[in-house]
Amino acid sequence: NAGVTQTPKFQVLKTGQSMTLQCAQDMNHNSMYWYRQDPGMGLRLIYYSASEGTTDKGEVPNGYNVSRLNKREFSLRLESAAPSQTSVYFCASSEVVGETQYFGPGTRLLVL
Amino acid sequence: GQQLNQSPQSMFIQEGEDVSMNCTSSSIFNTWLWYKQDPGEGPVLLIALYKAGELTSNGRLTAQFGITRKDSFLNISASIPSDVGIYFCAGQRTGTASKLTFGTGTRLQVTL
């Protein structure tokens, strides 16, 4: 039982490149979330998916898209990376919205 | 978006000392959560508080939900080296679905 897993762990991109961050959970949770964490700040919600087939914007959605591929997987896509998107990205899941969220280990992204 | 004010930003303490940190908000929350983040890892939930005035312990950790519902406190007694990490508070309001508002974090360093 791995909990929440994220790939890749590290990534370096050039400005304008695209990439997809992957997240999977094996806890049969309905809800999944993407956060970014920047130095000196708490985690900020980018997008979330309350249940399979639904996605909603969080606090900082600009420049990102998401796909809830199935109940287990929730991906985050950067279509045209910008240096301002250099951050650590965390995926989380919860049984339902409003319940305790469990976090993955994070993806460290550097955009040059 | 709103961030919770968390203090202190960082602490250097000696092993065996007690630690106190707090989190304040300009608005009311219905749930307060305390997470710990180890280097290179995602946040892990330590304590959840659901009722104003509630005092909850988890081993050497004790957290309180402020009476005004605008603040919360975390105490760690008899600190040990493995307490090193960043501690985040997070607040959640009923009706805001998934949205957790995170504090800016308190970085704890423990010296022998």
| pLDDT band (50, 70, 90) for residue B63 | very high
pLDDT tens digit sequence for A54-69:
999 998 999 999 999 9
Burial grade of A86 (CB within 10 A; 0-12, 13-18, 19 or more): middle
Amino acid identity of residue A34, one-letter, is W
Whether the CB of B95 is below 8 Å from some CB of chain A: the reply is: no
Whether the CB of B86 is below 8 Å from some CB of chain A: the reply is: no
Minimum Cα–Cα distance from B91: chain A residue:
A98
Q: Are residues B43 and A90, on separate chains, in Cβ contact within 8 Å?
A: yes
pLDDT tens digit sequence for A26-55:
999 999 999 999 987 789 999 999 999 999
Give me the residue from A42, A59, A97 closest to B4, CB to CB.
A42
Arithmetic mean of pLDDT, B13-21: 95
**Mean pLDDT, all residues of chain B:** 91
| pLDDT band (50, 70, 90) for residue B97 | low
Which of B24, B3, B21 is closest to B63 using CA atoms? B21
Q: Are residues A50 and B103, on separate chains, in Cβ contact within 8 Å?
A: no
| Cis bond before residue B81 (omega within 30° of 0) | no
How far apart are the CA of A51 and the nearest CA of chain B, in angstroms?
11
Q: Are residues B98 and A59, on separate chains, in Cβ contact within 8 Å?
A: no
Which of B12, B32, B16 is closest to B78 using CA atoms? B16
Which of A32, A37, A24, A13 is closest to A90 using CA atoms? A37
Q: Are residues B3 and A42, on separate chains, in Cβ contact within 8 Å?
A: yes
